[in-house]
Copies of this chain bind each other. A is one copy, B any other.
Amino acid sequence: MTVADFSRWSTQALGRVERALEQWVPADAPAGLGEAMRYGVLDGGKRLRALLVLAAAEAAGADKHTAGAEAAMRAAAAVELIHAYSLIHDDMPCMDNDVLRRGKPTVHVKYGEAQAMLAGDAMQALAFDVLTPDETPDGVDARLQARLCRLLARASGQAGMAGGQAIDLASVGKDLDEQTLRDMHHRKTGALLRCSVQMGAACGGLLPQSAAWQALSDFGDAIGLAFQIVDDVLDATQASDKLGKTAGKDADANKPTYVSLLGLDGARDESAQLLERARQALVRSGLGEAATAMLMALAERIVHRDH
């Protein structure tokens, strides 16, 4: 696949994700809540998780199942809602106290802390709402709906993202060993990235017992870890205006990072190894090079991005 092919695919996919979120995040939620929710999730971010869902769904053949493509778009929107809510809560004064996100004032700066907390809460509920549309004969199969909710709930909760944030919270100013740092990121960002790939796989009818599922999950693990390592490298080497958020914050807050643990070169080496592990996992999936080309292109983009 050429760079142009990938670029065309991702531009088109991003457009569909934005339109889906536009449709599903209600403007008319009461008392300004809808406005705060839309501010927090629309028109922002790289939509990496959504693209992973859609690429994995295509790789697994979701378009061959009744409403498989619809299920994938719902899963893509749902994981972006979870990610966006976590950023809103993470930015609040009692957590990271960030005032800038994607180059814009954070939600609590714009709408106040109470509305920001509520908007995040409502976005988490909306994620599960989006995953469970009314039952219709040609709609998303109820069994698949349940599977998607199961995957997303486990990746978001105390065993996944929220648990990782708790470790992060407890780690400020402490000497974290490498194992704890890896565990933290495995939960905090890794769980949701892997879940994105798994949800896409589920939309294609793959079951957790299958070899293809296991391989795609390993792919998700590898890129999840690579994502965080590259994040730390960028945080250490790029300026805030390029990142669209405050750079160097973790180092300033004495938070351990992969760069502080492995050094810049060590961190870059490991991200290159993880890209190779991701490639091998796709080969092992048996889905074929053509079907998994978008996933591989996303993995490359994760490792080679500059913001």
Contact = CB atoms under 8 A, between A and B. Distances in A.
Nearest to A29: B158
A143 interface: yes
A169 B132 contact: no
A120 B157 CA distance: 10
Contact of A146 (B86, B120, B126, B142): B142
A157 B32 contact: no
A204 to B, nearest CB: 17
Contact of A163 (B30, B142, B159): B30
A153 interface: yes
Contact of A118 (B29, B154, B162): B162
B89 A121 contact: yes
Contacts of A126: 153, 157-158
A117 interface: yes
A26 B160 CA distance: 13
A158 B30 contact: yes
Interface string A38-71: 0000000000000000000000000000000000
A33 B162 contact: yes
A199 interface: no
Among A29, A125, A150, A160, max chain B CB count under 10 A is at A125
Contacts of A164: 30
A138 B160 CA distance: 28
Contact of A30 (B32, B86, B132, B166): B166
Contacts of A171: 31
Interface in A152-192: 152-154, 156-167, 169-171, 183, 187
A17 interface: no
Nearest to A36: B166
A117 B146 contact: no
Interface in A236-268: none
A34 interface: yes
A115 interface: yes
Contacts of A89: 117-118, 121
Interface in A115-140: 115, 117-118, 120-122, 124-129, 131-135
A180 to B, nearest CB: 9
Contacts of A128: 128, 149, 152-153
A106 to B, nearest CB: 14
A96 to B, nearest CB: 9
B153 A129 contact: yes
A134 B157 CA distance: 16
Nearest to A184: B30
Contacts of A169: 31, 114-115, 118
Given A92-B117, A142-B143, A166 B31 contact: yes
